[in-house]
């Protein structure tokens, strides 16, 4: 008897496998599979796209560039549009993981501000167009700190013992330490990195926590007084509590650009182009800015906002987290792929965190 | 013709069934077959892939280059990694011990209430864990925070003068870890405690055994398989756990789980990540098998 | 001391453990009514998050996916795992140690390694990623949990009862249903509950084995954290916990009436 049950079970298993394999070869034309950060694309935008084109959007999420990269690198397929950040775009281009864009099919590309086109990680925007951008700067609680910090070096001040929050991101944090020593943010020089390691170790007593997901929470809860966050985090915290301030220290903020791109082997390349074009539409783009307070590279959208809702425009332009000054952008430092030096950086991070 | 062939087929089938009935080896194989086949396809084959990967080389962009390379293993011989491993084992062991101390009396209690209440009490243990993991952790963060529930409670009672800094310390990590792993200890303990008949304990009492003696001589030894199962299900995942230390401990330490994960996601050095997980798995497996052989399921040790 | 009635101390201790288990849940329920979107501190009472929840198509889809996967994987893993426990506890056969070791692999393998290796495997054999691949992976990591718990239950189980049943003319199947299964049922139930818990909560392995349109609840929630753990998610947990409680309560009442 038992034998039959086993056979039955194997049959079920085979059926299951067949069921998942079955649909593989017949992609439906009327859908587009979006793979992006969560809380990054408003539902209203997706609904608007479906209404206009009749194409259904499946929205799946990841929570870091590296997660997305690992998944695609391991062979996951079926996605049509992804949103990688600058250095990830560079890696993906070098590994041939992106489908070239046909800019003729994306007429709304003209809406993008000139300073956001043709950036070094993707010259000529062959593979990607900007979606949102922003900075990684310093945030502080003005009710707890009387003299505003000006330099990343202020994080080391003894009076901030146990009061600092840092991103749990080795590239931003070690990069910041390198900057305070006057070295390049993406240094691959072992001697400079060794020095940065010692300096980083001195900062540890001040660090209450590392948090990349929601550093604002510890700040709003009064757990920490200052630290390093994404601009959007600071903007949300500021709207919640006016004492939360954001600035770019003298050594320079971090600078990032998130981009729309199509992964190699996407089943619905045409629909993906239509989707990207729709996102760059000024009206659609404003939906993003209204809901997620990062910086918007869409010049046409900002112009539209100015006439449509002057108050919102003022708020956007007036706060350094959403609208950093030209000098801050000029002074901003991007994360770049380190190639083989990645191991060295990771080693330092491991040594510091896994220390005595 | 039909009748006679069917007769032989039936006879043959009966014979094979009889053989199955006779041969315990065949029965054992039949029972293990689904698991063996399933794990062969979905565990062994992927494991072989990881094994092969661990001998490859990282390309300049974090891709995998198919060039044979043993460095990934030699790189692991390093006091830094040993320290991280020992620390992770410490966290796992502490979690296991505390869950055992808290879970045992509770499992014992559930096993001793009237039968129809048991399943309800058991369900009540599990229900909180069907909410989302990250939401539970954030609830704990709200409790332990400087201006959180626990501190305001203690301050109002006048038990403390200044708020306790619990969050983002090892204490917070242990509170969260014990919380998350409690069901994995309680359920196996309960299943082995529940089968100990009251009759056995009464017989012991009739023979004049004192409660403590009857616990030590009867209940505890009979619950050892539950302790083994619970400890394995708690210790191993706790050792590799990093989400609780990251969120409640402020991500200030690197555990073995972080180490492996970082190789795949941050450093994007898959071959090294594969090598370190191969070594980790080998060590854990050896420890587990040794433990189950020594104190675990073997019948003769426990009578 | 009579062993039938737990002592007062034991009852007090157990009550405290239940308090520990339910403390965060109570807090979570309270904060599902919080006005503040970032849910850092209490700002005022509102029911709007419940409305918001039922309008959120993404979350509703994720709930459906999660429940489907959890139910199927729990049932399959419980059956397979129970058989494995029977085999390992009662029989000796060629390849015993090898199978026993293999059974531990899903427990000892780091999640991210299991996730990535399964993904590589699925894409090598050309299976389309989706609910199917997630379910297959969940079954794989649930089997050992069921097998270990059932094994602990089987330990010391008196085989002579089964033999007596067989002597009285019952065949294997009847013996299994009438004698073996009722005895090991608490173990099987515990194992199934653990499998269900694991499946409902898994993030890493699910992330790697998911395909377009098969996002589960933990995936959705984990990535929402980047913005904030909004009370919406608390509302969801509240409804879920309340539903389970209601089912338990009704079950108890039916049972009591039958008495």
CA distance C117 to chain A (A): 8
- In this complex, do C152 and B192 lie within 8 Å of one another by their Cβ atoms? yes
pLDDT score at A153 = 96
Which H/E stretch holds residue A276?
A: helix A269-279
Nearest residue in B to A63, CA atom: B265
Within a 13 Å sphere around the CA of A191, how many CA atoms are in the beta-carbon half? 0
CA distance C244 to chain A (A): 28
pLDDT score at B205 = 75
pLDDT score at B192 = 87
Cβ atoms of B176 and B248 closer than 8 Å: yes
pLDDT score at A197 = 96
Q: What percentage of chain A carries pLDDT values higher than 90?
A: 73
Which H/E stretch holds residue C101?
A: helix C96-108
Cβ atoms of B167 and B221 closer than 8 Å: no
Specify if C1 maps to a domain. no
Residue whose pair of structure tokens reads 């599990």 in the numeric block: B126
The mean pLDDT value for A238-244 works out to 90
The mean pLDDT value for C38-62 works out to 86
Nearest residue in C to A32, CA atom: C212
Give the fold, CATH level 3, of A28-132+256-325: D-Maltodextrin-Binding Protein; domain 2 (3.40.190)
Contact of A294 with chain C, judged by CB distance below 8 Å, is answered with no
- In this complex, do B240 and C81 lie within 8 Å of one another by their Cβ atoms? no
**Domain A134-255+331-353 class in CATH:** alpha beta
The confidence band for C221, taking pLDDT boundaries of 50, 70 and 90, is confident
Query: In chain B, which residues have their Cβ closer than 8 Å to the Cβ of C121?
Result: 42, 45-46, 49
- For chain B, which residues make up each domain, given as ranges? 78-302
Packing angle, helices B220-240 and B270-295, rounded to 10: 170
Residue C239 has pLDDT above 60, yes or no: yes
Cβ atoms of A99 and A262 closer than 8 Å: yes
The overall longest dimension of chain B from CA atoms, in Å, is 96
Question: Over its length of 303 residues, how does chain B's per-residue pLDDT go in tens digits?
Answer: 445 555 565 566 555 656 666 677 888 888 888 999 999 999 888 889 999 999 999 988 888 888 898 999 999 999 999 999 999 999 999 999 999 999 999 999 999 888 878 888 988 998 898 888 888 998 999 899 988 889 989 999 988 888 888 999 999 999 999 999 999 999 999 988 988 876 677 777 777 777 788 888 888 888 888 998 899 889 999 998 888 999 899 999 899 999 998 999 888 899 999 999 999 988 888 888 888 777 655 443 332
pLDDT score at A25 = 40
Residue C195 has pLDDT above 90, yes or no: yes
pLDDT score at A7 = 43
Give the residue, A97 or B201, on which the prediction is more confident.
Answer: A97
Contact of A327 with chain C, judged by CB distance below 8 Å, is answered with no
What is the rounded average pLDDT for all residues in chain C?
Answer: 86
- In this complex, do C228 and A217 lie within 8 Å of one another by their Cβ atoms? yes
pLDDT score at A329 = 93
Query: In chain A, which residues have their Cβ closer than 8 Å to the Cβ of B147?
Result: 221-222
Within a 13 Å sphere around the CA of B56, how many CA atoms are in the beta-carbon half? 17
Report which DSSP code applies to C156.
Answer: T
Query: What span, in angstroms and rounded, lies between the C-alpha atoms of A165 and A155?
Result: 10
Put residue A101 in one of left, alpha, beta given phi > 0 → left and psi -120 to 50 → alpha: beta
pLDDT score at C258 = 65
Residue A249 has pLDDT above 70, yes or no: yes
A144-159 pLDDT tens trace: 998 999 999 999 999 9
Residue A8 has pLDDT above 90, yes or no: no
Query: What span, in angstroms and rounded, lies between the C-alpha atoms of C149 and B195?
Result: 13
CA distance C52 to chain B (A): 18
Q: Which of A239-253, A313-327, B246-260, C241-255 has the lowest mean pLDDT?
A: C241-255
pLDDT score at B299 = 44
Of A24, A61, A216, the CB nearest to C219: A61
Q: What is the residue-wise DSSP string for B117-137?
A: HHHHHHHHHHGGGGS-HHHHH
- The CATH label, of 3.40.640.10, 3.60.20.10, 1.10.645.10, 1.10.3720.10, for the domain at B78-302 is 1.10.3720.10
The confidence band for A3, taking pLDDT boundaries of 50, 70 and 90, is very low
A19-73 pLDDT tens trace: 444 344 444 568 999 999 877 899 899 999 999 999 999 999 887 898 899 999 9
Determine which of A17, A346, A348 to mutate to test the interface with B (most B C-beta atoms within 10 Å).
Answer: A346
- In this complex, do B146 and A221 lie within 8 Å of one another by their Cβ atoms? yes
The mean pLDDT value for A174-202 works out to 96
Residue A293 has pLDDT above 90, yes or no: no
Query: What span, in angstroms and rounded, lies between the C-alpha atoms of A4 and A2?
Result: 5
Question: How many Å separate Cα C236 from the centre of its chain?
Answer: 18
Beta strand pairing status for A226-230 and A128-141?
A: antiparallel
Residue C153 has pLDDT above 90, yes or no: no
* Segments in chain B forming alpha helices (H): 2-22, 24-39, 45-53, 71-74, 79-112, 115-126, 133-144, 149-157, 170-194, 198-206, 211-214, 220-240, 243-248, 256-265, 270-295
Query: What span, in angstroms and rounded, lies between the C-alpha atoms of A300 and A295?
Result: 13
The confidence band for C44, taking pLDDT boundaries of 50, 70 and 90, is confident
- In this complex, do C210 and A75 lie within 8 Å of one another by their Cβ atoms? no
Whether A28-132+256-325 shares its CATH topology with A134-255+331-353 is answered yes
The mean pLDDT value for C21-50 works out to 89
Which residues have CB under 8 Å from A340's CB, separation 6+? B58, B60
Which chains does chain C touch, 3 or more C-beta pairs < 8 A?
Answer: A, B
Query: What span, in angstroms and rounded, lies between the C-alpha atoms of A122 and A87?
Result: 10
- For chain A, which residues make up each domain, given as ranges? 28-132+256-325, 134-255+331-353
pLDDT score at B115 = 81
- In this complex, do A2 and B20 lie within 8 Å of one another by their Cβ atoms? yes
Which residues have CB under 8 Å from A353's CB, separation 6+? B251, B252, B253, B254, B258
pTM of the model: 0.86
Residue of A90, A83, A113, A87 whose CA lies nearest to A329: A113
Q: For residue A194, what are its two tokens?
A: 């060794």
Backbone angles phi, psi at A97, to 5 degrees: -95, 0
Of C24, C80, C84, the CB nearest to B140: C24
Contact of A283 with chain C, judged by CB distance below 8 Å, is answered with no
Contact of B246 with chain A, judged by CB distance below 8 Å, is answered with yes
- How many CB atoms lie under 10 A from the CB of residue B118? 17
Cβ atoms of A92 and A69 closer than 8 Å: yes
Determine which of B35, B174, B199, B231 to mutate to test the interface with C (most C C-beta atoms within 10 Å).
Answer: B35
CATH number of C141's domain? 1.10.3720.10
> Domain containing C241: what range?
8-258
Query: Rounded to 10 degrees, what is the CA torsion of A22, A24, A29, A34?
Result: 120
pLDDT score at A14 = 46
Cβ atoms of C208 and C202 closer than 8 Å: no
Which residues have CB under 8 Å from A74's CB, separation 6+? C116, C119, C120, C123, C208
- How many structural domains does chain C have? 1
Cβ atoms of A76 and C119 closer than 8 Å: yes
């Amino acid at each position: 008897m038992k034998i039959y049950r086993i056979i039955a079970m194997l049959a079920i298993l085979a059926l299951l496998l067949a069921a998942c394999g079955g649909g593989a070869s017949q992609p439906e034309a009327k859908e587009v599979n979006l793979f992006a950060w969560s809380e990054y694309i408003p539902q209203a935008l997706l609904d608007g796209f479906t209404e206009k084109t009749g194409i259904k959007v499946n929205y799946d999420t990841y929570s870091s560039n590296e997660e997305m990269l690992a998944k695609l690198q391991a062979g996951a397929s079926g996605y049509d549009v992804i949103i990688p950040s600058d250095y990830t775009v560079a890696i993906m281009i070098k590994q041939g993981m992106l489908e070239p864009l046909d800019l003729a099919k994306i007429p709304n590309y003209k809406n993008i501000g000139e300073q956001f086109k043709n950036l070094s990680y993707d010259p000529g925007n062959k593979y990607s167009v900007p979606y949102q951008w922003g900075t990684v700067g310093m945030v502080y609680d003005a009710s707890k700190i009387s003299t505003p910090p000006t330099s990343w070096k202020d994080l080391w001040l003894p009076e901030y013992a146990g009061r600092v929050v840092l991103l749990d991101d080795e590239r931003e944090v070690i990069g910041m330490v390198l900057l305070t020593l006057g070295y390049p943010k993406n240094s691959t020089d072992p001697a400079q990195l060794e020095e940065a390691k010692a300096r980083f170790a001195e900062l540890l007593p001040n660090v209450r926590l590392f948090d990349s997901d929601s550093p604002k929470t510890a700040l709003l809860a009064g757990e920490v007084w200052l630290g390093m966050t994404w601009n959007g985090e600071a903007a949300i915290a500021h709207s919640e509590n006016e004492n939360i301030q954001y600035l770019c220290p003298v050594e320079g903020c971090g600078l990032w650009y998130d981009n729309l791109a199509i992964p190699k082997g996407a089943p619905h390349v045409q629909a993906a182009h239509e989707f990207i074009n729709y996102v760059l539409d000024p009206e659609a783009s404003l939906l993003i800015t209204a809901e997620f307070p990062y910086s918007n590279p869409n010049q046409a959208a900002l112009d539209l906002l100015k006439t449509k809702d002057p108050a919102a425009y003022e708020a956007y332009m007036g706060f350094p987290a959403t609208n950093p000054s030209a000098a801050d952008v000029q002074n901003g430092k991007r994360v770049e792929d380190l190639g083989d030096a990645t191991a060295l950086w990771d080693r330092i991070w491991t040594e510091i965190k896994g220390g005595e | 013709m039909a009748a006679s062939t069917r007769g032989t087929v039936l006879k043959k089938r009966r014979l094979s069934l009889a053989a199955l009935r006779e041969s315990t080896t065949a029965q054992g194989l039949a029972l293990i077959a689904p698991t063996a086949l399933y794990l062969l396809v979905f565990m062994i084959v992927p494991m072989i892939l990881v094994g092969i990967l661990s001998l490859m080389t990282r390309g300049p962009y974090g891709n995998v280059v198919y060039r044979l390379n043993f460095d990934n293993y030699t790189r692991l011989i390093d006091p830094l990694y040993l320290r991280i491993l020992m620390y992770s084992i410490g966290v796992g062991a502490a979690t296991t011990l505390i869950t055992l101390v808290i879970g045992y009396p509770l499992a014992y209690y559930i096993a001793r209430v009237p039968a129809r209440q048991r399943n309800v009490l058991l369900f009540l243990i599990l229900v909180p864990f069907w909410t989302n993991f990250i939401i539970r952790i954030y609830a704990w963060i709200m409790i332990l925070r400087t201006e959180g529930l626990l501190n305001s409670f203690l301050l109002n009672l006048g038990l403390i003068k200044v708020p306790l800094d619990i969050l983002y310390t090892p204490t917070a990590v242990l509170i969260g870890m014990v919380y998350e792993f409690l069901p994995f200890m309680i359920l196996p303990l309960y299943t082995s405690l529940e089968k100990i008949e009251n009759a056995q304990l009464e017989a012991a009492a009739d023979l004049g055994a004192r409660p403590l003696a009857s616990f030590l001589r009867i209940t505890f030894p009979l619950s050892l398989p539950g302790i083994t199962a619970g400890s394995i299900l708690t210790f191993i995942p706790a050792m590799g756990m990093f989400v609780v230390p990251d969120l409640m401990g402020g991500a200030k330490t690197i555990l073995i789980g972080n180490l492996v994960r970082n190789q795949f996601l941050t450093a994007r050095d898959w071959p090294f990540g594969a090598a370190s997980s191969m070594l980790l798995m080998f060590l854990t497996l050896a420890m587990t098998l040794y433990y189950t052989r020594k104190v675990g399921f073997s019948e003769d040790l426990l009578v | 001391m009579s062993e039938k009635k737990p002592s007062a101390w034991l009852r007090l201790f157990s009550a405290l453990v239940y308090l520990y288990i339910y403390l965060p849940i109570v807090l979570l329920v309270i904060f599902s009514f919080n006005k503040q979107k970032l849910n850092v501190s209490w700002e005022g009472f509102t029911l709007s998050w419940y409305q918001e929840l039922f309008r959120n198509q993404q979350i509703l889809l994720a709930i459906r996916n999660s429940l489907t996967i959890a139910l199927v994987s729990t049932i399959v893993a419980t059956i397979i795992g129970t058989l494995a426990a029977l085999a390992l506890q009662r029989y000796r056969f060629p390849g015993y140690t090898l199978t026993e070791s293999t059974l531990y692999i899903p427990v000892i393998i780091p999640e991210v390694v299991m996730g990535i290796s399964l993904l590589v495997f699925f894409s090598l054999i050309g299976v389309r990623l989706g609910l199917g691949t997630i379910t297959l992976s969940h079954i794989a990591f649930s089997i050992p949990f069921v097998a270990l718990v059932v094994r602990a239950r089987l330990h010391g189980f008196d085989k002579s009862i089964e033999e007596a049943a067989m002597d009285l003319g019952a065949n294997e199947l009847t013996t299994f249903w009438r004698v073996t299964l009722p005895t090991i049922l608490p173990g099987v139930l515990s194992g199934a509950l653990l499998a269900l818990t694991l499946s409902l909560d898994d993030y890493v392995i699910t992330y790697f084995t998911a395909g377009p349109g098969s996002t589960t609840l933990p995936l959705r929630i984990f990535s929402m954290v980047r913005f904030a753990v909004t009370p919406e998610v608390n509302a969801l947990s509240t409804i879920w916990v309340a539903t389970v409680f209601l089912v338990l309560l009704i079950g108890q009442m039916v049972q009591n009436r039958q008495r």
